[in-house]
Amino acid sequence: MLRWSLLLLLPTWAFAAPIGRAPESRIPDKLWTEKPVGRTGISNNSPVTMGGFSRLAKLISPAVVNISTVGSGTPGSREGPSGALVTGEGTGFFIHASGYLLTNDHVIDGARDITVRTANDRVFKARVVGRDPRTDLALLQVDSRGPFPIAPLGDSGRISPGEWVVAIGNPFGLSHTVTAGIVSAIGRSEVQPTGKPMLASFIQTDASINPGNSGGPLCNIRGEVIGINTAIRGDAQGIGFAIPSNMAKKLLPQLATGRVERSFLGLAFREVTPELAKVLKLERVAGAVVTEVGAGSPADQAGLRPGDVLTSFDGQPVRAASDLPWLAAQAGVHAKVAVELIRDGKTQSVQVQLQALPRPLEMVEPPRLVPSVAAQTTLPLGGLGATVADLTPDLRKRFSILATVGALVVAVDRGGPADHAGLRVGDVVTRIARRAVNRAALLEAEVRAARPDDVLSLLVPRGKQSIWLTPTRAR
């Protein structure tokens, strides 16, 4: 099991009284700068030297701050004794001369008092302007007009694995520590360090980052911030993760208003596996396979179907299923976007009119059935080690089954192909490959027609989502 650590440092518990919020101020038209001011640390054509890293540190360090917080105990990282307030430390950096700065949301989560200390030991109180737990970003403003030194935001879309980067922060409360390394990987969408679903596509780096580095900048050799340091692997050394700067740029206009609004596509999906690629006759193991389309959703209105493989969204490639949530969420409420997909082996494009993201639906586990109380007419799925029956209205009502049509699984042989693939009693198979299943006999015929060692693709709804299971037919 992977263990993740957010980079917030939480050293002590304290008891304190809350303070009032700083007065609101006018939000600048643009909150960040995109080009370094003055000389850069290292040019693209010059060799990397220790002197170059030193110049980088001198350029960026004045904009980096230590953030100290006092806040109420929460169920997460700030948990403390009853009635206690918990202190914590993290990092942030100025992006606007008037005192706006970026940090991680988990640095200020639950904070009632936020103190910012600059590199030259100036101390200010700060207020939260906007926050977004789903991307772990927060925008703060200090209670002074400045001007403050700023760190420019670079283009994280231009970075490649192997490029030099520098991380600056306050690990373990040690102010303005500078470490260097390389970009180890990009597009780490599968990383979920908070344990909750996040909209992120992290930059992975081996530049040393530690607790207390949360919210600090990850800079390229030109002195531009291309990431916001966020998490480390708790059971490994030399692996850290940063939120791409382009993600921050996309969210900053909304963070400045204090509210983040996301767009909604309205479908469930899963990764393309080699087995699914074979069943769906795909040339590449890439994209996101649609498993369910919400009734009346933008995806439904655009004609998307289960079994479609999404390969591009709004001009951006969908290389993996984990790419899709961020692409769909940030495209814009009411935006009309082009979606490229593969259906029945053919590539096509559809236009989707997005909506505002509704409240999340609760996940519901499928009912547990006892084979002896299932339908009287059952059919064995030869070669899979499972038995199915027609899904009748009586069975749907009796066992609170959400699916309306399909083949109800009433028995699964322990150790058989269906068992190994994850099929279980109480599942309802609604589709085999690209063909809809409206009765048990159709599913049985499709399985019987398959050859030994063929990989079958079964769509099974579970709660409010659906998954593809890929058992291999036995000989």
Q: Which CATH number fits domain 371-469: 1.10.3470.10, 2.170.270.10, 2.30.42.10, 2.120.10.30?
A: 2.30.42.10
pLDDT digits (tens, 9 = 90+) for 316-372: 999 888 889 889 988 888 999 999 999 888 999 999 999 988 754 333 333 344 444
pLDDT at 14 over 80: no
Q: Is 208 a catalytic residue?
A: no
Domain range annotation of the chain = 1-260, 263-356, 371-469
**What pLDDT is stored for residue 231 in this prediction?**
75
Please state which CATH number belongs to domain 263-356. 2.30.42.10
Q: Is 214 a catalytic residue?
A: yes
pLDDT at 41 over 90: no
Q: Is 156 a catalytic residue?
A: no
Please state which CATH number belongs to domain 1-260. 2.40.10.120
**Domain 263-356 matches domain 371-469 at the CATH topology level:** yes
Task: Give the lowest-confidence range in 146-155, 172-181, 318-327, 450-459.
Answer: 172-181
- SS3 per-residue string spanning the chain: CCCEEECCECCCEECCCCCCCCCCCCCCCCCCCCCCCCCCCCCCCCCCCHHHHHHHHHHHHHHEEEEEEEEECCCCCCCCCCCCEEEEEEEEEECCCCCEEEECHHHHCCEEEEEEECCCCCEEEEEEEEEECCCCEEEEEECCCCCCCCCCECCHHHCCCCCEEEEEECHHHCCCEEEEEEEEEEEECCCCCCCCCCCCCEEEECCCCCCCCCCCEEECCCCCEEEEEEEEECCCCCCEEEEEHHHHHHHHHHHCCCCCCCEECCEEEEECCHHHHHHCCCCCCCCEEEEEECCCCHHHHCCCCCCCEEEEECCEECCCHHHHHHHHHHCCCCCEEEEEEEECCEEEEEEEECEECCCCCCCCCCCCCCHHHCCCCEEEECCCCEEEEECCHHHHHHCCCCCCCCEEEEEECCCCHHHHHCCCCCCEECEECCEECCCHHHHHHHHHHCCCCCECCEEEEECCEEEEECCECCC
pLDDT digits (tens, 9 = 90+) for 107-121: 998 888 999 999 889
- From the list 109, 132, 136, 308, the catalytic residue is 136
- From the list 214, 245, 312, 466, the catalytic residue is 214
- From the list 68, 106, 322, 427, the catalytic residue is 106
